[in-house]
């Protein structure tokens, strides 16, 4: 791809994908270059529509996001918990207007394409902060990985008990295990997901990081 056209094409992708796309490019330059070469070729030869391009770009970003999570989960407590806090910030904001954006952060580990492309400016700004914190955690996790032991059964049961004390919905917690949310409303899912993350963050930092990393 000619350099000028690459710059223009990449600028357009960043404008559509925001800072999340910029962070992916910075972390995975070689992979992104190969991806954009193929995408550009398919777009310029009429092999794909704008919607197809959006879907393929989203799938690429999700793949790279999931790949980076191994490093994120190994980041020092400060950076890993800062990332978790930006997610919680987005969830609290989304609870006022977009229940799906709220609960998907926990249930899916990120936002679906439909949710990510239908958010208002406030939530998009919050998602930018999530992406930035994830990029920091991925870098420090790769450079200075922390090995965390999984939380023990007694620790998990204590957190579940505290979750219940905070009026967390046990039906949602059970649905998280079965992946059957048919009996839980969107509002319940959002409310419960927030309480769950708040309960985890209420633990001492080292334990909170171990629980969130599982």
Residue 150 sits in the same domain as residue 169: yes
Q: What is the pLDDT of residues 56-83, one digit of tens each?
A: 887 887 787 777 888 999 999 999 999 9
Residue 116 sits in the same domain as residue 133: yes
* Domain containing residue 18: 1-72
Predicted model pTM: 0.80
Q: Looking at residue 19, what is its pLDDT?
A: 61
Q: What is the pLDDT of residues 196-206, one digit of tens each?
A: 999 999 999 99
Residue 87 sits in the same domain as residue 173: yes
For residue 18, give Cα distances in angstroms to 12, 47, 62, 191: 10, 25, 14, 28
Confidence bin at 169 (pLDDT 50/70/90)? very high
Residue 68 sits in the same domain as residue 79: no
Cα–Cα nearest to 111, from 90, 92, 132: 90
């Amino acid at each position: 791809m000619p350099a000028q056209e690459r710059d223009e094409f990449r600028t357009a992708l960043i404008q559509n994908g925001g800072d999340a796309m910029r962070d992916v490019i910075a972390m995975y330059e070689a992979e992104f270059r190969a991806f954009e070469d193929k995408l550009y070729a398919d777009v310029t030869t009429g092999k794909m529509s704008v919607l197809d391009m959006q879907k393929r770009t989203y799938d690429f970003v999700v793949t790279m996001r999931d790949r980076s999570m191994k490093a994120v989960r190994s980041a020092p407590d400060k950076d890993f918990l800062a990332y978790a806090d930006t997610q919680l910030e987005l969830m609290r904001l989304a609870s006022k207007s977009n229940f799906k954006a709220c609960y998907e952060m926990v249930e899916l580990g990120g936002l679906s394409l439909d949710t990510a492309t239908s958010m208002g400016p406030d939530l998009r700004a919050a998602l930018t902060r999530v992406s930035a914190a994830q990029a920091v955690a991925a870098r420090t996790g790769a450079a200075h990985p922390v090995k965390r032991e999984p939380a023990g059964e007694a620790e998990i049961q204590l957190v579940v008990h505290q979750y219940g004390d905070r009026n967390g919905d046990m039906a949602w917690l059970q649905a998280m295990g079965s992946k059957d949310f048919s009996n839980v409303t969107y509002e319940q899912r959002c409310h419960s997901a927030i309480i769950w993350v708040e309960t985890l963050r209420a633990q001492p930092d080292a334990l909170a990081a171990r629980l969130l990393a599982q």
